[in-house]
Structure 1
């Protein structure tokens, strides 16, 4: 089968042919239909991600497909089930073997492309805003990088949860995408973020996928008792947080990494995905896919993330 793999530590990734893996204890074999790309895939390729598997390994953190085989120890899933898998690795391939605990059935109404783009972006935003920040109806939510993979879902979910949403992004086209997802106010990257947010009354919750200068400005635009969620650092700069400023406004900075929850509270992740799929079936969530590419063009998909030319999600179609 074909797989997009890193063979040596910090080495390049290439599309290559490898043997089809067989399921072991507690595992399922999945014929992969689609794989969602994430900024973390780019960081992994550059050796900058916080949770890089040991080489060799196949890239691709989330996928969808059909179960081809199961181990006798698996009793919650069956051959033929349509599933989404929060794999962590292995999604950019034609076939894969994964722990059954990382798989969830998907409804017939959900396409494989939507399912592959769903788990990390929507799961991150829902758990961060609901479980960690406790976002309340009527509060003001500021989202930086609001047209990106996770940022756009934060706009959508924040609006669904009853917040007033301020979207911050680069350029009119990206801001238009955020507006379509429900943003109430739009701030271009060329504007003074701090002053614009303060003019709107300040932020109760900040969902920051950018880091760097955007985080610093958002930090200073918080209301008293504001909560900040550092979700990612697309700018390349991890901000340093002045603890004395936290004291003055009684601010809270809440770390969130959905991969960590998969290890110590997978029940929360599964519960979140169950809720999100229900919202999807009700038509309340509409995944935005800017590009759907074949496996042969995975490198081009990664470049779309690197150059920040995509909006929402980039999905790689790995099978027919």
Structure 2
């Protein structure tokens, strides 16, 4: 998500071919910000800091457990890659938080392009991985025997590489259109869609389709098939899987829909009130960013074997620190035997 533009919304775009483009990240005459706008800006700044802290340390914990504490499986491969994607995004958030606080870009043209690229790389890679997880679960439920024989770590790694490669390709527009300019003594990082008359529309629509519409349809179809399958079989005696699957779909929808709606409205920003678009883009990008710390909760911490490994790792360290080596050894042995039988499926 393009924080450094969305948080500084104004008429950034000049589609004329006259070559007289002037990068403005604010109107020539800027009205004084109202108290409500100040409250919104401060609130979103605080939210961004919270997202950074929860996302950074939450995903770091997921990487530590799934990468070093758990046996390498297809499921841990999905979760590890998803956590790395969200971790990289959260690691870049301090630059944008500083931009929001100072209202000036202080990190140069290269970092302006790179941070935007990293953000969209996270957006596409995480969404593609969520789709992969959904399809994988659907196949495991519909064709359990085939899945048991064909699901290998090597094939999962190949799928992850392909997902990241496609995400890189779709993130390249950030490297092309992101620029740094100066206005009224302030340096800003903005989008300059002057390469072609329809550059802005092409980028926005492609991001909408590849980053929301198509993935959302696939996820909905997969989880609908899973729910129907589980309801017509004896594969589950609990309603928890249905609740978790519903939470996954609803969270994905809520986090990303506002962002894409206001990005589409921004294509014809002349027809809408700038203040409304400004607020919508700010709130939309914050909600989309929140997905980076919700992923560990919804996709990992609800997995039974991850919770077991988390508890056993934390408790064993506490017990070792207090000198209770005997009980720690017995606890680790017991939980290890449970982990070998458990699966990461919700």
Please state which band the TM-score falls in when normalised by the shorter chain. under 0.3
Q: Rg: which structure is higher?
A: 2
Which structure has the higher relative contact order (CA within 8 Å, separation 6+)? 2
TM-score by length of 2: 0.20
| Higher strand content, 1 or 2 | 1
| Higher helix content, 1 or 2 | 2
TM-score by length of 1: 0.21
